[in-house]
Amino acid sequence: MQQASKISVIITTYNRPDALAAVLDACFCQDDNNFEIIIADDGSTHNTRQCIARLKGRSPVPLRHVWQPDEGFRAARARNQGILAASGDYIVFLDGDCVPQPSFVSQHRKLARPGYLVTGSRVLLSPGYTLRMLAERIDVCKLGFWDKLKLRLTGDLNKFLQTVLTLPDFGRESRRFSWRRIKSCNLGVWRSDLTLVNGFDESFHGWGHEDSDLVVRLFNAGVMRKEGAFATEVYHLWHRENERSLEDRNRNIVLRRANDKTVLATQGLQSAGPRGGARRSAAMAPLPTSGT
């Protein structure tokens, strides 16, 4: 079975350097170092830039920071810029508040199979434990069986078995499309498949469903799903909900595209989208000269 020769982990972030530091520390401790890190920054200020610069020197893998101006929630564009900057043949999308376990990259490599994407799994942390973890620099991935069980019983974790049990790559494929657990905070996709559908659609503005749209279009192009639960878990740090005034609009677009079998993003990686659009280089806008 074909395996990815090199993986690019694209981490999306926006003005949360303490969480990003925890994510990067976990990435530096992976049991598979044949990958690179691309930080796709949706307009953070200098605090994030300084955090990355401080950590970059001890990264065991190549690390690159790409930035775009803050013009509202534009995660789709940030991820596309990350794809353009990446060199791997397999892309794993990770959010800057999702702390991966040490086997995260190696498990995604094991699950990668041509013709499939992998929808990863997340474990939600409570608000209180998130604050404590960041303040005390707790390495949640090193907690033992009983510590994790205690956190589950106190409501600080929403899952337990997924944090202590890894299941083999068996019976994970699905031949039918489902909306369940579509999250680009933990998603593995072949680069060739992303190119096939023109990447994320940058016409999605505001929070919501740009990741569902990508998976719908991949399914319309013939790419199937594999479940990453009990193998690819990340610890999702608590945060306040984003402003969601455009969620219904975005969801309706996805429903329409699922119905009419849309494949290409209107405004995506290439100028070959159905209504054109200028080609962009992989270079991002310059970083700001002063923080705000």
Distance CA 176, CA 225 (A): 8
61 or 286, which is more confident? 61
Task: Give every CB contact of residue 192 below 8 A, 6+ residues apart in sequence.
Answer: 89
pLDDT confidence tier of residue 244, bands split at 50, 70 and 90 = low
Determine the pLDDT at residue 170.
92
pLDDT tens, residue by residue, 197-218: 999 999 987 777 889 999 999 9
pTM of this prediction?
Answer: 0.90
Determine the pLDDT at residue 214.
95
240 or 250, which is more confident? 250
Quick one: average pLDDT of 170-195? 86
Distance CA 41, CA 48 (A): 9
pLDDT confidence tier of residue 251, bands split at 50, 70 and 90 = confident
- Report the mean per-residue pLDDT for the chain: 89
Lookup: tokens for 79: 């991820």
pLDDT confidence tier of residue 95, bands split at 50, 70 and 90 = very high
- The string of DSSP letters for 173-212 reads EESS---TT--TTEEEEEHHHHHHTTSS-TT--SSS-HHH
Task: Check whether 287 has a pLDDT greater than 50.
Answer: no
- The string of DSSP letters for 167-178 reads --SSS-EESS--
pLDDT tens, residue by residue, 111-161: 999 999 999 999 999 999 999 999 999 999 999 999 999 999 999 999 999
pLDDT tens, residue by residue, 6-46: 999 999 999 999 999 999 999 999 999 999 999 999 999 99
Distances (CA, A) of 121 to 226, 229, 237: 11, 5, 14
Name the phi and psi angles at 205, rounded to 5: -120, 150
pLDDT tens, residue by residue, 38-49: 999 999 999 999
Asked if 211 and 181 count as a contact pair (C-beta separation under 8 A), the reply is: no
Which of 5-9, 93-97, 212-216, 243-247 is least confident?
Answer: 243-247
Task: Give every CB contact of residue 166 below 8 A, 6+ residues apart in sequence.
Answer: 103, 107, 230, 231
Q: Which helix (H) or strand (E) holds 41?
A: strand 35-41
Within 10 Å of residue 141's Cβ, how many Cβ atoms? 19
Task: Check whether 172 has a pLDDT greater than 70.
Answer: yes
Task: Give every CB contact of residue 120 below 8 A, 6+ residues apart in sequence.
Answer: 92, 108, 183, 185, 186, 187, 188, 228, 232, 233, 234
Query: What are the structural domain ranges in the chain?
Result: 7-260
Determine the pLDDT at residue 143.
96
Task: Check whether 1 has a pLDDT greater than 60.
Answer: no
Lookup: tokens for 148: 């994790």
Give, in words, the CATH class of 7-260: alpha beta
Quick one: average pLDDT of 220-240? 94
